[in-house]
Amino acid sequence: MQRMKKTAITHECLAIARHSCRCLAGNQLQLNTAPKSTLRGFSLLEVLLVLVLAGILMGVVATSLSDGPVLRKSARDVAVSLRHARSIAILQQKPVVWSMDVESKTFWMQGAQRHEKRVLHRAISAKVNTASSEVASSSQGNIRFFPDGSSTGGSVELKMREQTYAVNVEWISGRVSTL
């Protein structure tokens, strides 16, 4: 019986020995004090290097994806400004001129109470297509809105890298749409 008990304990020690313990004579267990160099894992330097590379990659991806929303917001701002000019012309029953200078990348309304210039993002290029009577200079074009809601018509094209947004103004109805 004594021998059977020792064998069972020895087998138990062998099973435990596989999990960082070793069995000594007399059925005592001792923790494995083997050098840590035999254990596998990542060093702190390796983990930090991976985190830095992941951060740089996320920054590059975020920068490239942020161009679309900037261009879309600028096109929306131009469209809102054109709609506002049309509304003022109808409400005040007098013509309102919306202007854009493509060199300074600014746009504003003339004939309104507030003469506030808005500036486009520096990476956006602009082009104004309008009636020849509304071309003020080589860099400035106007779109005129009349009290009945109609306009001289035209479009504003905003381009950033490979993307383009167009804001169209219909001449009969003065309707502003973004494409």
- Confidence band, pLDDT 50/70/90 cuts, at residue 115: low
- What CATH architecture applies to the domain 68-178? 3-Layer(bab) Sandwich (3.55)
Q: Tell me what the mean pLDDT of segment 151-167 comes to.
A: 93
The answer, yes or no, to whether residue 108 has pLDDT greater than 70, is yes
Sequence-ordered list of residues with C-beta below 8 angstroms from that of 99, at least 6 positions apart, any chain: 107, 108, 109, 110, 136, 140, 141, 142
Q: Could you please report the per-residue DSSP string of the chain?
A: -HHHHHHHHHHHHHHHHTTTEEEETTTEEEE----GGGS----HHHHHHHHHHHHHHHHHHHHHHTHHHHHHHHHHHHHHHHHHHHHHHHHHTS-EEEEEETTTTEEEEESSS----EE--TT-EEEEEE-GGGB-SSSEEEEEE-TTS-B--EEEEEEETTEEEEEEE-TTT--EEE-
pLDDT digits (tens, 9 = 90+) for 48-101: 999 999 988 888 776 666 667 888 999 999 999 999 999 999 999 999 999 999
Q: Is the Cβ–Cβ distance between 118 and 75 less than 8 Å? A: no
Q: What is the pTM of this model?
A: 0.63
Mean pLDDT, the chain, whole residue set: 82
Q: Domain limits of the chain?
A: 1-35, 68-178
pLDDT digits (tens, 9 = 90+) for 118-130: 999 999 999 999 9
